[in-house]
Structure 1
Amino acid sequence: MRHRLRAVTAVLALVAGLSACGSSEPSSSSGPPGSAGAGQEGVNLTVWVMRDSFSDALLDRFRTRYRAAHPGVTLDIQIQEWDGIGQRVTSALASNDAPDVIEVGNTQVAEYAASGGVRDLTDKVADLGGTDWLPGLAEPGKIEGRQYGIPWYAANRVVVYNKDLFAKARITAPPKTRDEWLEITAKLDKGGDQGIYLPGQNWYTFAGFVWDEGGDLAVNEGGTWKGGLATPQALAAVEFYRRLQALGDGPKDSDEARPPQADVFAKGDVAQIVSAPGGAVAIEKANPGLKGKLGFFPIPGKTADKPGAVFTGGSDLVIPEASKNPEAAYEVVKALAGEEFQADMAKEMSYVPNRVSLAGVLDGNEATAAMAAGAANGHATPNSPNWAAVEAKNLIKEYMTRVLTGGTPATEAAAVDRSIAEILNTTS
């Protein structure tokens, strides 16, 4: 699984000699005493950025600004491919010739930190403005109280809706609470229209309901992991999911990719889907007649004063222990995670910036404004290097299908909790 969502650009995340596109910006000046570039003459830094993370124009602007502030530093920004990235990063972290800064999917940080090859940046959190970070983006980079990954950018799910179907049902405003959401969706689920298309295995959406109830998918108690699906909070969440899912014809035994939910929505008889805003691009491509007729709102929460919890997908920045210039590498991380780049990035790429205080830069766009509002209540999957194995075995997806097809929730949840605990407590 790619561990970050692709936003509007269809983005929702390595040893020397790797063939990758790159660009270098050399400089010969050393800068005045006391400047950001002083004492860094002749420093060469390699930065790995994932393909499609950013536009060429955005990276060019960053290089220009960084060169002005750090005239003695040469930046070699190399574009990496997602296919096989996990093994390349693992190899780089174990080598003596690692890049200086690497973009990684936020849920991958725990796995890489466990290797011992990622630099601990806990003492830099205050300098980086960590109190302003999005919680759901910052949490995956923090392992056992130590900050290894620095949150870079985020994307999360919202509700995409058909404005014509809302008008047909005489609904004039999106819901603000989960109860209102059920009520409105029931009104929309009439006359041959689906109130919502929600596949039975959309487990990221389900996870948001679990977090809303105050639960979690798994918890670490005294160094031992326990599954969290048999708790009263998670059982309340799966009941809400069951009620919402029933207000449409979504399949109970597949996820949003089978069939692609954008194609289903594009037929014009579905009122709502839960998707990253970038899903609108695929919808309008499949049905150009819907262009301009799509609306967006944050997933409703239990009360009107707070949006529903969402999984925060995104990327972090890490510095390998093997970096030959860790102090200079940190300055690059600081610039990329700083307000200037974050604001520019949000406007150019329609991502949610890493800071709560910067959410307002997206206010001019309905889709990204809804995403930013939801991001304030963002969460992450359990912070274990073994969590990827839970996802690979589709444990939560299969649990949801069993419940939606008549299984007893408590019994099914207890069984999957045992499987989750076994995986998370396995040591290599």
Structure 2
Amino acid sequence: MTVWLMQGSASQDFLRRFTEDFERGHDDLRLDIRIQQWTGIGPKVQAALSASSDAGPDVIEVGNTQVAQYVEGGRLTNLTLESMRDWGMQDWLPGLAEPGLDNSAQFGIPWYAASRVVIYRKDLFEKAGITSPPGTRAEWLADTEKLDSGGNQGIYLAGQDWYTLSGFIWDEGGDLAKQSTNTWKGTLDTPAALRGMDFYRRLQALGNGPADADEEHPPQAGVFAGGKVAQIVAVPGVVQAIVQKNPALKDELGFFPVPGKTAGRPGTVFTGGSDFVVPRNTDDRDAAVAVVAALTGAKWDTDLARTMNYVPNKTTLAPAVAGEEAVAAMAAGAAHGRATPSTPQWAAVEADNPIKEYMTKVLDGADPRTAARQASRRITEQLAPGLG
């Protein structure tokens, strides 16, 4: 069995242990795990899906939002029956499962996830008299306003951080785009999506994040490390860069889920991660399915999550990472996570992103409804097959 895994998804020790265990339980199978680079992976996977059965991989790890582009042309194996019968699909994280679904057929099988959380300065919270992380959006705004004083930014939120905005829109019941029959339409101008943008505007104003740049320009880890920022919204892995630049912050950093509208339910967040797909041109479907079943099953999925500080693929496995503050915060948010619209044309939106331009316009004082209508029209054009 030839298995393609992406660079950085699993440690060599994990792969060694998994391979030994799998081959002990499957005397007739041997695993050939080949590590791939993310750069340029799209065309390489497309070529593999079109290759003869003896030339390509039998199992491929793909980004959860990439599944849609590989489904086209009927080149993936439909794994719906296994998902419904054996794999407990009802407990999968929605941000991993939904992108793997096409016309009620499951092609992508969730493996692991990561999502944004709030990284905060414990010392600045204590100084402001905040004894526990906020549990609702309203509390978050109030706490951030307290923190935005004494020369400190209550939060550093770049004006074009559209992944974070997406979560606020979803929390309000809105979407970036919706599909009607076979046509996708941008929906930033709906009342729900506008409410999400309004919350973003109010939160972003409690810091000095640039209105015309995203979280990588400049890298928000460097800004946070400067010592005058109380919070950022980011994946926990950013902490490594923060501490490298400012070791004094090592013991002052904490994590909590992005708050939701009501207590007890964290906010909806964009969920990134990986799914497994099985090419239709595999010459041993049953063996490929056995590999996917083992890697995504509770035993090895939990092992991977603990080893790599990921969120397991099921909400029922979240207790396995409860002891790690950062991962537990990710898991709480990922339980309600979402992914970008499941269409191959979404790549065109991200390549020339009208959401970013829309956000900047609103933060600079433009009428939100007018700017949202303009951005929605552009998204609709980009999502038209062959035109994006």
TM-score w.r.t. length of structure 1? 0.89
- Alignment partner of 1:119 out of 49, 72, 77: 77
| CA–CA separation in structure 1 for the residues paired with 2:10 and 2:62 | 14
Q: Which residue of 2 aligns with 1:71?
A: 27
Q: Which residue of 1 aligns with 2:65?
A: 107
How far residue 425 of structure 1 moved from its aligned partner, in angstroms, is 2.1
**1:362-389 deviation digits (Å, cap 9, x = unpaired):** 1111111111111111001111110011
- Alignment partner of 2:231 out of 249, 260, 272: 272
Q: Which amino acid aligns with 1:192?
A: G
| CA–CA separation in structure 1 for the residues paired with 2:48 and 2:164 | 34
Percent sequence identity over aligned pairs: 58
How far residue 420 of structure 1 moved from its aligned partner, in angstroms, is 0.8
Q: Which amino acid aligns with 1:279?
A: V
**Secondary structure, counterpart of 2:330 in structure 1:** helix
Q: How does 1:230-269 map to 2 (within 5 A)?
A: 230-269=189-228
How far residue 416 of structure 1 moved from its aligned partner, in angstroms, is 1.0
**1:141-184 deviation digits (Å, cap 9, x = unpaired):** 00121111101100000000011111111111000000000000
How far residue 333 of structure 1 moved from its aligned partner, in angstroms, is 0.4
Q: How does 1:313-328 map to 2 (within 5 A)?
A: 313-328=272-287
Q: How does 1:322-337 map to 2 (within 5 A)?
A: 322-337=281-296
| CA–CA separation in structure 2 for the residues paired with 1:338 and 1:402 | 46
How far residue 406 of structure 1 moved from its aligned partner, in angstroms, is 1.3
Q: How does 1:49-64 map to 2 (within 5 A)?
A: 49-64=5-20
| CA–CA separation in structure 2 for the residues paired with 1:395 and 1:150 | 31
Stretches of 4+ aligned residues off by more than 6 angstroms: none
Q: Which residue of 1 aligns with 2:112?
A: 153
Q: Which amino acid aligns with 1:111?
A: Q
**Secondary structure, counterpart of 2:112 in structure 1:** strand
Is 1:215 the counterpart of 2:215 in the alignment? Answer: no
Is 1:137 the counterpart of 2:96 in the alignment? Answer: yes
**1:117-160 deviation digits (Å, cap 9, x = unpaired):** 11111111121111110111100000121111101100000000
How far residue 423 of structure 1 moved from its aligned partner, in angstroms, is 1.6
Q: Which residue of 2 aligns with 1:34?
A: none
**Secondary structure, counterpart of 1:208 in structure 2:** helix
RMSD between aligned residues: 0.8
How far residue 426 of structure 1 moved from its aligned partner, in angstroms, is 2.2
* Aligned residue pairs, count: 384
More helix by share: 2
| CA–CA separation in structure 2 for the residues paired with 1:198 and 1:185 | 12
Q: Which residue of 2 aligns with 1:171?
A: 130
| CA–CA separation in structure 2 for the residues paired with 1:267 and 1:416 | 34
Q: How does 1:346-365 map to 2 (within 5 A)?
A: 346-365=305-324
| CA–CA separation in structure 2 for the residues paired with 1:137 and 1:319 | 16
How far residue 218 of structure 1 moved from its aligned partner, in angstroms, is 0.3
| CA–CA separation in structure 2 for the residues paired with 1:349 and 1:417 | 38
Q: Which residue of 1 aligns with 2:300?
A: 341
Q: Which residue of 2 aligns with 1:15?
A: none
Q: Which amino acid aligns with 2:220?
A: Q
Is 1:420 the counterpart of 2:379 in the alignment? Answer: yes
**1:65-107 deviation digits (Å, cap 9, x = unpaired):** 1011101101000001111101100111111122000000000
**Which residues of structure 1 form unaligned runs of 5+?**
1-44
How far residue 116 of structure 1 moved from its aligned partner, in angstroms, is 2.1
Q: Which residue of 2 aligns with 1:224?
A: 183
**Secondary structure, counterpart of 1:125 in structure 2:** helix
**1:10-65 deviation digits (Å, cap 9, x = unpaired):** xxxxxxxxxxxxxxxxxxxxxxxxxxxxxxxxxxx100000111101111110111
How far residue 424 of structure 1 moved from its aligned partner, in angstroms, is 1.2
| CA–CA separation in structure 1 for the residues paired with 2:315 and 2:230 | 30
**Secondary structure, counterpart of 1:304 in structure 2:** coil
**Secondary structure, counterpart of 1:379 in structure 2:** coil
- Alignment partner of 1:86 out of 42, 61, 64: 42
**1:279-332 deviation digits (Å, cap 9, x = unpaired):** 111110110010111000000000002100000100000001111111100000
Is 1:395 the counterpart of 2:319 in the alignment? Answer: no
Q: Which amino acid aligns with 1:114?
A: E
**Secondary structure, counterpart of 2:211 in structure 1:** coil
How far residue 347 of structure 1 moved from its aligned partner, in angstroms, is 0.8
- Alignment partner of 2:344 out of 385, 388, 412: 385
Q: How does 1:12-23 map to 2 (within 5 A)?
A: none
How far residue 395 of structure 1 moved from its aligned partner, in angstroms, is 1.2
**1:227-277 deviation digits (Å, cap 9, x = unpaired):** 110000010111100000000000000011010100000011100000001
| CA–CA separation in structure 2 for the residues paired with 1:128 and 1:338 | 7
Q: Which residue of 1 aligns with 2:364?
A: 405
Q: Which amino acid aligns with 2:299?
A: E
**Which residues of structure 2 form unaligned runs of 5+?**
none
**Secondary structure, counterpart of 1:78 in structure 2:** strand
**Secondary structure, counterpart of 2:30 in structure 1:** strand
How far residue 427 of structure 1 moved from its aligned partner, in angstroms, is 3.8
